[in-house]
């Protein structure tokens, strides 16, 4: 599907509304363009030139009255049709944008985690907010001004031939001047607006990163450096925007100049024709007809102004929709698994696993391990050893390049991702709290849970104590940055896992943001909930994994040591040196 076909897919459900819009705008244009003809006819009903070229007053009261009444009726009906037209165009635009926003949000959740990681969050936000807004403005302008302009052009052309075919032919011969100017300017506009949109996405990404990490920037005294980088990008965008705006400002005045020139030429020729009409009747020109024709000349050139005035918005919308279209073309998360895990998760097996994020840099090679139900497995190692990557593979955020992972003997690629992930509960080092009440945040893991179940989970996570001190207790509104400390947010994410009660619990340094006393309470709570269940812990503080049944020591994607805490300490290998350095560091 190309971008045009995708746009048509959004327009197709609005077929009836578009027909109604077309009828409304046509009736509005007919009402509007009938008025000059009636006014011209009324002027001719007042009098005209005789053979000697003198103006003779000969008022036909009935005709003048009739024409004026018709003008009044058409003015009122035109206003009604204009309202219906603009209102329906607004509804059409909002309906399309509503579906487009929904589809973008669905796509964000449909693509793989790996693909999403490759894109900056600022770029995705630019798609969802600014690009969608650009498309909305472009659609409204196209349906309102462009379509109205084209229909006005066609109806005006018909009316011009009705009034005087000779002047109509002259107007057509002169009209390419406006068209050529419009096309020339449009070519330059597209290139610069495309560059401007790209720079806007980069600036949004930079701003998003600074806002998200404002505490870190301030702690490192990096505000001046961040401001300098932002200003440099902003200046680059400003320069590009100036060039784009220069080209965007050209169409209207240049086409107006051309149109005014055409108007003057038509007026001069029309006056000459009036003078020669008594001698050459085939010229069929009168004062009333010239008045009507000059009005139509203005109407005939006005659509060119309307069309060219929306060129900048159209080009911005076109590029924004192209960016959205390219995002939709991103490969979605493949889930061909049909198998389901019946009963409990008894065994997890990694079999000769190879994996790398890029072909150039290998990460995990020939990795094999068997984890039985109830095992408490700790994964340790230096940064970049592949600890978090193993979790990503377990959750099927990525699939192995070689080898396989099995659950109860079934290859993970044969298990549906939804069914697979239902067996996991994760507590990561980075907490995720959305804007809502504490009750809603904890219940997110299990929407069907009752209030009592949520509160019980919070008690087991030792979160109930601080929740009771909050102004509205469990109904207190919180967000990712407001209302709670980092440690309290972590305790709520732990409560989610308590509520979910999964077969496998994954902890990525889950107690790193709580004090020593709370860490002990949470560790005890985990020991209780994980009895008879499998747990996988990524640990940086090795003192937290002394009770692990299996400790996997990773380095450069390979298991270099395996055992429990005591056996690994006796070996005095890599684990021993890591533990000793942490112990000595804490002692100092």
CATH number at residue 559: 3.40.50.300
Q: Kindly state whether residue 249 falls inside one of the protein's structural domains.
A: yes
With respect to residue 552, please indicate whether it lies within any of the assigned structural domains: yes
Contact 441, 434 (CB under 8 A): yes
Q: How far apart are CA 1 and CA 548, in angstroms?
A: 52
Same domain, 207 and 259: yes
How far is it, in rounded angstroms, from Cα 531 to Cα 506? Answer: 14
Question: pLDDT tens digits, residue range 3-32?
Answer: 888 888 988 898 899 899 989 999 998 998
Domain limit, last residue, from 262, 296, 328? 328
In a domain, 367, yes or no: yes
Q: Are residues 357 and 321 part of one domain? A: no
Least confident of 18-32, 35-49, 108-122: 108-122
Q: Does residue 453 share a domain with residue 324?
A: no
Distance CA 539, CA 520 (A): 15
For residues 359 and 306, membership in a common domain is answered with: no
Assess if residue 318 is contained within a domain: yes
Residues 207, 66 share a domain: yes
Beta strands in 392-446 (DSSP E): 402-407, 410-411, 424-427, 436-437
**pLDDT mean over 193-204:** 72
Residue 457 covered by a domain: yes
Banded pLDDT at 215 (limits 50, 70, 90): low
318 and 437 together in one domain: no
Domain count, the chain: 2
> Is there a single domain that holds both residue 415 and residue 561?
yes
Residue that is written with structure tokens 């918005």 in the block: 313
On whether residue 360 sits in a domain, the answer given is yes
**E runs forming strands in 256-381:** 347-355, 364-372, 376-380
pLDDT in tens, 61-84: 888 889 889 988 998 999 999 999
> Are 392 and 449 contained in the same domain?
yes
**Cα separation, 328 vs 377, whole angstroms:** 39
Looking at the structure, do residues 298 and 163 belong to the same domain, yes or no? yes
508 membership: H or E segment, kind and range: strand 504-508
Over residues 178-207, mean pLDDT? 69
Lowest mean pLDDT among 107-111, 222-226, 257-261, 465-469: 222-226
CATH code of the domain in which 61 resides: 1.20.1560.10
Domain range for residue 183?
A: 3-328
If DSSP codes are grouped into helix, strand and coil, which group holds residue 20?
helix
Q: Which of the listed residues 328, 359, 376 is the one where a domain comes to its end?
A: 328
| CA 255 centroid distance within chain | 35
User: Residues 534, 503: contact at Cβ < 8 Å?
Assistant: yes
Based on the fold, state whether residues 267 and 308 are members of the same structural domain: yes
Of 196-210, 496-510, 530-544, minimum mean pLDDT range: 196-210
**519 lies in some domain:** yes
Say whether both 307 and 175 belong to one domain: yes
pLDDT band at 588 (very low <50, low <70, confident <90, very high): very low
Q: Evaluate whether residue 337 is within a structural domain.
A: no
H or E segment to which residue 240 belongs: helix 223-249
Q: In 373-428, at which residue ranges do the beta strands (DSSP E only) sit?
A: 376-380, 402-407, 410-411, 424-427
**191, 324: one domain:** yes
């Amino acid at each position: 599907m190309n971008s045009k076909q995708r746009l048509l897919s959004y327009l197709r459900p609005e077929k009836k509304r578009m027909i109604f819009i077309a009828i409304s705008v046509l009736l509005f244009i007919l009402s509007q363009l009938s008025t000059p003809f009636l006014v011209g006819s009324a002027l001719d009903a007042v009098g005209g030139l005789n053979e000697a070229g003198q103006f003779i007053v000969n008022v036909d009261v009935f005709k003048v009255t009739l024409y004026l009444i018709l003008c009044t009726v058409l003015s009122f009906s035109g206003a009604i049709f204009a309202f219906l037209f603009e209102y329906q165009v607004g509804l059409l635009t909002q309906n399309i944008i509503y579906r487009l926003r929904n589809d973008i949000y669905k796509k964000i959740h449909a693509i793989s985690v790996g693909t999403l990681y490759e894109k900056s969050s600022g770029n995705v936000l630019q798609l969802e907010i600014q690009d969608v807004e650009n498309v909305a403005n472009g659609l409204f302008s196209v349906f309102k001004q462009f379509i109205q302009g084209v229909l006005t052009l066609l109806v005006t052309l018909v009316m011009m031939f009705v009034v005087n075919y000779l002047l109509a032919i002259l107007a057509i011969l002169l009209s390419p001047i406006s068209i050529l100017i419009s096309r020339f300017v449009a070519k330059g506009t597209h290139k610069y607006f495309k560059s401007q949109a790209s720079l806007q996405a980069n600036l949004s990404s930079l701003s998003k990163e600074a806002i998200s990490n404002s505490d870190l920037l301030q702690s490192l005294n990096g505000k001046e450096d961040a401001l300098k980088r932002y200003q440099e990008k902003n200046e680059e965008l400003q320069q590009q925007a100036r060039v784009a705006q220069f080209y965007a400002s050209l169409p209207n005045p240049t086409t107006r100049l051309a149109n005014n020139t055409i108007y003057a030429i038509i007026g001069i020729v029309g006056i000459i024709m009036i003078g020669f009409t008594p001698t050459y009747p085939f010229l069929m020109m009168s004062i009333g007809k010239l008045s009507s024709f000059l009005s139509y000349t203005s109407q005939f050139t006005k659509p060119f102004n309307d069309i060219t005035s929306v060129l900048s918005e159209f080009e911005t919308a076109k590029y924004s929709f192209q960016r959205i279209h390219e995002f939709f073309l991103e490969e979605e998360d493949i889930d061909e698994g049909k198998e389901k895990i019946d009963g409990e998760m008894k065994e997890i097996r990694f079999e000769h696993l190879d994996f790398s994020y890029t072909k150039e840099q290998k990460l995990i090679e020939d990795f094999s391990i068997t984890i039985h139900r109830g095992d408490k497995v700790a994964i340790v190692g230096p940064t970049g050893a592949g600890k978090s990557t193993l979790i990503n593979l377990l959750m099927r955020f990525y699939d192995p390049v070689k080898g396989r992972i099995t659950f109860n003997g079934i290859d993970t690629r044969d298990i549906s991702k939804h069914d697979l992930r239902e067996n996991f509960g994760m507590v990561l080092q980075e907490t995720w709290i959305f804007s809502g009440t504490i009750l809603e945040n904890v219940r997110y893991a299990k929407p069907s849970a009752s209030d009592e179940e949520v509160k019980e989970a919070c008690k087991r996570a030792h979160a109930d104590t601080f929740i009771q001190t909050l102004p509205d207790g469990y109904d207190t509104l919180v967000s990712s940055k407001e209302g709670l400390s980092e440690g309290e947010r972590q305790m709520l994410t732990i409560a989610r896992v308590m509520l979910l009660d999964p077969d496998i619990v994954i902890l990525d340094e889950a107690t790193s943001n709580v004090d020593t006393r709370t860490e002990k309470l949470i560790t005890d709570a985990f020991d209780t909930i994980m009895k008879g269940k499998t747990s996988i812990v990524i640990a940086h503080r090795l003192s937290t994994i002394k009770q692990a049944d299996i400790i996997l020591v990773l380095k450069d994607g390979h298991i270099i040591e395996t055992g429990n805490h005591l056996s690994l300490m006796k070996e005095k290998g890599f684990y021993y040196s890591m533990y000793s350095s942490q112990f000595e560091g804490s002692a100092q």
